[in-house]
Structure formats: C-alpha cells, structure tokens
C-alpha cells in the first residue's frame, strides 16, 4: 500500500496524528491506543453521527493530563488499532472503515488535510526501500512509527553514505545489517523525540564533519562504535 500501511508485516505508522507529541514510554503508547480502540468500538456507531464528536470530546478530556512535548501540536484521539489482532494502527474514522468520504471531518484537522497529508519519508523516492527495512526492524507499530517518522535521521544517513561514495543500492543491500544496527540504537532514544514532518534546512548536512556531529549528538558513543565498524568494512 504505502509506507503508512505496508503490504507485508503486521505494522503501520500513525506518527502524523501527533502520537509522539505525548510524553509516554513505548508500553504506555500501546496502552493508550488500546484504550482508545476499545472505547471507540463500544461507543461509536457509524450510523449515529453525534457519537463521533462525543467520543472525541471524552477522549480529549481523559487525555488532557498527559504531558506534551509541544502544547501547540494536536494529538488526535481517533488514532487507534484498526485490525482485529490489534497490531496495526491508523485512523479509526478513515473512509475505508466508515464508508463516508467525509467522516474525517469529525477530527480536528478535517478530511481534506488528513487525506492530503504526506510525510517526508513517505514522499521520498526511497520510500519502498525504507519501508522494507523498517518492517524488518520493528517489533510492533509503535516502533515502526518511530522509524518511519524519523525523516531527518533517515535523510542524514542517506547523505552520509553518499559522501562516502556508497550508492543507495549498496547502502540498502551490502550495508543492510549495519543499517539495522544503527536504527536499533536509534530506537533506544526514540521516546524522547517529538517527530514531525516539517521542513528543515537539509543544507546543514552538507559535509561529513557536520554529519559526524549530528550522529554523535543523537547516538553518543554508540555512533563512534558503529562508525569504527563501518571504517573496517569500507576503508576507502
């Protein structure tokens, strides 16, 4: 389908709905998503229009105590599990479920924004390659969302390999295991991040020294250890 909902695996991404703006740990994200899903399934009737805004208001009230990383970022309570096994997350009022092309108008942003929005990783020409890597790494949809939304880190990594004269094909094939190790390190600090898809100045990643500083800041000693292993594998 897309980076959002891969055709393979039992994972999907819901980062664009503001999930990671909440100051929660990975297990707490899962608990919140399960609570939303259960309440939605037991209180919302697609034939009863007013049940949608009632659910939204009640969930917003219940979640008001959760601290945010950015008070200006909205956290949509319609994000929940959308499969019977409670593994894939997504918009519970998406038209594919409601049969109503405008059902997302019950959300804060509305149908036009929700359906037109694309994140930086999704619109990347390498989206399919990133998707296959993230599906292989992620244990669940929360981890997959962390990886898929981390477009700055992904772009910096692309730039790093390019400056080492390593093609993208080689990066995803010959250095696949090294890539997986790096993203697993990244997952260890993901709960601290508030991932967005807003534009950044990618020109700041113009040379290796800047990238070294970026990765050292993000990963600490783990980056230095990883880079040492890379140097041995790719000495040139």
Domain spans in the chain, listed from the N-terminal domain onward: 15-116, 127-233
Which portions of the chain are predicted below pLDDT 70?
Answer: 1, 191-203, 236
Helical ranges in the chain per DSSP H: 26-43, 51-62, 95-98, 111-116, 127-137, 141-149, 151-163, 168-173, 176-187, 208-219, 221-233
Asked whether the beta carbons of 27 and 140 are under 8 A apart, the reply is: no
Number of alpha carbons in the 13 Å side-chain half-sphere of residue 93: 28
Q: What is the pTM of this model?
A: 0.90
pLDDT at 120: 75
Q: Report in angstroms the alpha-carbon separations of 181 from 81, 136, 230.
A: 28, 12, 11
Query: 181: which residues sit within 8 A by CB, 6+ positions away?
Result: 226
Residue 82's Cβ-count burial label (10 Å; 0-12, 13-18, 19+) is buried
At residue 30, the pLDDT reads 95
pLDDT tens, 12-55?
Answer: 998 889 898 999 998 999 999 999 999 999 999 999 999 999 99
Work out whether the CA dihedral 222, 152, 142, 138 comes out positive or negative: negative
């Amino acid at each position: 389908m897309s980076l959002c909902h891969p055709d393979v695996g039992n994972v999907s991404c819901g980062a664009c709905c503001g999930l990671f703006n909440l100051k929660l740990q990975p297990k707490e994200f899962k608990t919140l998503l399960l609570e939303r899903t259960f309440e939605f399934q037991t209180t919302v009737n697609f034939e009863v229009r007013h049940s949608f805004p009632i659910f939204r208001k009640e969930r917003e009230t219940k979640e008001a105590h959760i601290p945010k990383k950015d008070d200006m970022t909205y956290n949509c309570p319609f994000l929940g599990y959308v499969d019977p096994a409670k593994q894939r997350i997504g918009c519970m009022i998406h038209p594919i479920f409601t049969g109503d092309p405008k059902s997302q108008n019950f959300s804060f942003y509305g149908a036009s924004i929700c359906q037109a929005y694309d994140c930086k990783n999704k619109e990347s020409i390498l989206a399919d390659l990133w998707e296959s890597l993230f599906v292989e790494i992620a244990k669940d949809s929360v981890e997959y969302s962390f990886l898929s939304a981390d477009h700055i880190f992904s772009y910096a990594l692309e730039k790093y390999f390019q400056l080492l004269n390593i093609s993208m094909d080689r990066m995803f094939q010959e250095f696949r295991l090294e890539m997986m190790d790096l993203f697993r390190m990244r997952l260890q600090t993901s709960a601290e991040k508030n991932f967005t898809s807003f534009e950044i100045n990618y020109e700041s990643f113009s040379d290796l020294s800047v990238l070294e500083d970026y990765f050292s800041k993000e990963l600490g000693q783990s980056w230095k250890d990883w880079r040492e292993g890379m140097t041995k594998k790719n000495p040139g």
